[in-house]
Structure formats: structure tokens, C-alpha cells
Amino acid sequence: MSLNKRFDILKIRVRLYNRLNSEILLNKQINREILMSEKRDAFVQKLKAKIDEWNAEIDRLSARADQAEVEARAEYHDEIQTLKLYLNYPEHKLKEIQDAGQEAWEDLKSGAEMAFDAMSEVISSARKRIE
């Protein structure tokens, strides 16, 4: 086999190798994006479930407040209104994560977790006072 023929074969092999390597890298990137998307979707579902749980808790506390003595009833309802206002912040954090790109949502995750932890404490404190 001539030297030119061998060189041509070698060039073809290098091109095939480079193409295969590019496809492998692209597949890794696609798999990484799919995994990130699945993680974000699971996190968003977790946050939505927690917000639904808090709304149900606020409704339950409101019903308890309605049954309270007259003097306490107004105070409890003020507290419930405050809870509803506080709930806006975790809802806002959830919206930010939903609107963020695949890469950016990870940066927002810790802020959302802090907001959700704070809301859990506020709900727990209100529950102790109303019940």
C-alpha cells in the first residue's frame, strides 16, 4: 500500500474519531441537562407540595380562630393575615426557580430553601399560639 493511501486512511480514521468524540461529548451534555431538569422539576414539585400544605394549615388555623373566644379571635385573624403575607415570599422564590434557566436554578435553590425554612418556623409558631 502506498504512503499516500495510508495517509488518506489515517486522515479518515482521525475524522471518524473526532466525530465520534464530538457525539460522545454532546450526549454527555444532553444527559447532564436532562438530569438537571429532572432535579429542578422534583425540587419544584417539593416546593409546590409544601406551599399547598401551608395553605391547608392556614385554612385549618383560620377555622380554629373562628372558634376562639371573642377577645382572641381578632388577634388570631391578624396573625393569619400575616401568615398569608409571609407565604408570598416562598411563592415568589418558587416562581424564580420555575423561570430560571437550567444552570441558574441551582444558584436560587439555597435562597428558596432558606425562605421555606423560615416559613416553616413562622407556621409552627402561629400553630402553637392559635391551638
Looking only at Cα atoms, what is the longest distance across the chain? 103
For the stretch 11-30, pLDDT in tens is: 788 887 778 777 877 777 76
Confidence of residue 34 (pLDDT cuts 50, 70, 90): low
| Residue spans per domain, the chain | 39-130
List the grid coordinates of 29.
451534555
Q: How much is the CA Rg of the chain, to the nearest whole Å? A: 28
Distance in angstroms (rounded) separating the CA atoms of residues 99 and 93: 10
Backbone dihedral region of 57: left (phi > 0), alpha (psi from -120 to 50 degrees) or beta?
alpha
Note the pLDDT of residue 68.
84
Mean pLDDT of the chain: 85
pTM metric for this prediction: 0.72
Q: pLDDT tens for residues 77-129?
A: 899 999 999 999 999 999 999 898 877 888 888 888 999 899 999 999 988 88
